[in-house]
A and B are shown apart, each in its own frame.
Chain A
Amino acid sequence: MTRPRIGWQAGVLCFLVAAVALAGGARSQSPASGPQAPPAAPTAPAPDDRVEVPPPPFTDGIFPCSSCHASMPVNRTRRELTEFHTDIVLTHDEQHRWCLDCHDADHRDQLHLASGAPVSFAESYVLCGQCHGEKLRDWRAGVHGRRTGQWNGHKTYLLCAHCHNPHQPRFTAIQPMPAPVRPSRPGK
């Protein structure tokens, strides 16, 4: 399972520090920290170790994209798709964008930022955050989106795409659960 980094710079930094510490023979300092089940109320570890993001929610059989696209010529002309992916209806600033503004034509299994820098599907929140910066900031802080797990320990975040369909990000209305029964009064 991929474990993309939230705040990857910090993650890389932690990794480097850890690598240096291990190389320095500091391993014997923590004999008890082997792989074991997380305790019920763990003390706060490094922020990055506390977060887990499930893999991106692909439609069955759609990924990797390159399994089909690798043998196809690239057509960068903006057009309506009529042969494949016809189920995708774009209602996400469709006036200004189409497939290849987010999907990468040269690296089919990746997305790309506005700068052209590739970004994996597992880190698609970076792409979303280009426009929705304040949402990305809130998401990193755990305020936007659902978190499960432990309030003082290991948490699971969801990617933007787990809740919002990237092509139609607005939530659709859902059926509510039953209303409570009204209190009954004798004689009425």
Chain B
Amino acid sequence: MKSDAPGTTVSRRQFASCAAAAAAGFLLTGCGPRRLHEMPPDRLKDALREMERRYAQQFGAAVTVSDEKALPGVEFAYALDLSRCVGCRRCVYACVEENNQSRDPQVQWIRVFQMDKGKGVDFSEADPYYAPPAVPEEGHFYVPVQCQQCRNAPCTKVCPTGATWTEPDGIVVVDYDWCIGCRYCMAACPYGARHFNWGKPAVPKDKLNTKTHVLGNRPRPQGVVEKCTFCIQRTRNGRYPACVEVCPVGARKFGNLLDPDSEIRYIIEHKRVLVLKEELNTLPKFFYFYAT
């Protein structure tokens, strides 16, 4: 081969075979694996059945993988009452169990920060590792942080493969099969809400939540990013997220932003509401409020 040498030209045969190979490759990519949200319905169905089969084998239990679509006329939003939260972390562990997060290595989608009442909401002074015998501690308040489901989400913009996007109901999801683990989204997220599976996720067989959603709590492979999905497998069936139902002080509120009678609208209209890092223009759908 001397095609790189100066003065030589590409032969007609070489050109034709290269062009044919390129055309064939272009055509074949159309038949290859696809992102979940652009898969034709019948292929998606096959893919889901295949996942169910694989997980059943892995965990020895009947697992359902749903692809429940967004409900029309629904945009989810969340509100958390900072004047009520006592920092007990019940939400953290309810989330771990509901969403099949890895126990060891530990992955937790919710992180509760202990803050000083004198300093206000200040993450540079916050402590997520507090462990006193009893909470709340005098002079402190607690700010749980999870995915803020931004309307102007920085994480989805930086993904080089399009493996993460915002659903029509406002939930930012990850396609675990399309994520290449570059963690750009984690760098882009100002809330530390995305978590990477550095090791092989370990969920005890008897602790697996078998009711899963393909974009939510289905078992993840190593090397992908995961995050809070507002319990997509529950909320798209009308249920409250697990963290809302477990909160012992009722600090967590959830509902449809487009429904004028919803709790969430009542809170936004009647309470003092704030969002974290408002100056970054991420437009979170996760609101913090003071009910008193």
Contacts and interface: CB of A to CB of B under 8 A. Distances in A.
Contacts of A23: none
Contacts of A142: 253, 263, 266
B256 interface: yes
Contacts, number: 105
A125 B6 CA distance: 91
Interface in A93-140: 138
Contact of B240 (A143, A149, A158, A175): A149
Main secondary structure of the interface of A (DSSP, over half): loop
Contacts of B111: 180
A176 B250 contact: no
Contacts of B128: 179-180
A177 B135 CA distance: 10
Interface residues of B, number: 46
B168 to A, nearest CB: 15
Contact of B129 (A40, A44, A171, A179): A179
Interface stretch (B37-45, B87-95, B155-163, B172-180): B87-95
Contacts of A163: 248-250
A144 B86 contact: no
B202 interface: no
A88 interface: no
A95 to B, nearest CB: 22
Interface in B133-149: 133-136
Contacts of B250: 144-147, 158, 163
A110 B35 CA distance: 62
Contact of B253 (A42, A143, A175): A143
Contacts of A147: 240, 244, 250, 253, 263
B139 to A, nearest CB: 13
B contact face: mostly helix, strand, loop, or mixed: loop
Contact of B263 (A41, A143, A182): A143
B71 A41 contact: yes
Contact of A176 (B81, B89, B238, B239): B89
Contact of B237 (A41, A141, A178): A41
B238 A174 contact: no
B291 interface: yes
Nearest to A157: B250
B240 A148 contact: yes
A154 B279 CA distance: 38
Most buried by B among A138, A151, A163: A151
B57 interface: no
Given A146-B250, A176-B131, A179-B130, A141 B266 contact: yes
A40 B128 CA distance: 37
A152 interface: yes
Interface of A: 40-42, 44, 47, 138, 141-153, 158, 163, 171, 173-182
Chain A to chain B: the 3 pairs with minimum beta-carbon distance, closest first: A146-B250, A173-B134, A177-B89
27 contacts: A40-B238, A41-B237, A47-B261, A142-B263, A143-B267, A145-B250, A146-B245, A146-B247, A146-B248, A147-B240, A147-B250, A148-B240, A148-B245, A150-B238, A151-B235, A151-B240, A152-B74, A152-B259, A174-B88, A175-B135, A176-B87, A177-B88, A177-B93, A178-B89, A179-B130, A179-B131, A181-B106
Given A141-B263, A174-B135, 14 more contacts: A42-B238, A138-B291, A142-B253, A142-B266, A143-B81, A143-B263, A143-B271, A143-B291, A146-B250, A147-B240, A147-B263, A148-B245, A175-B133, A180-B128
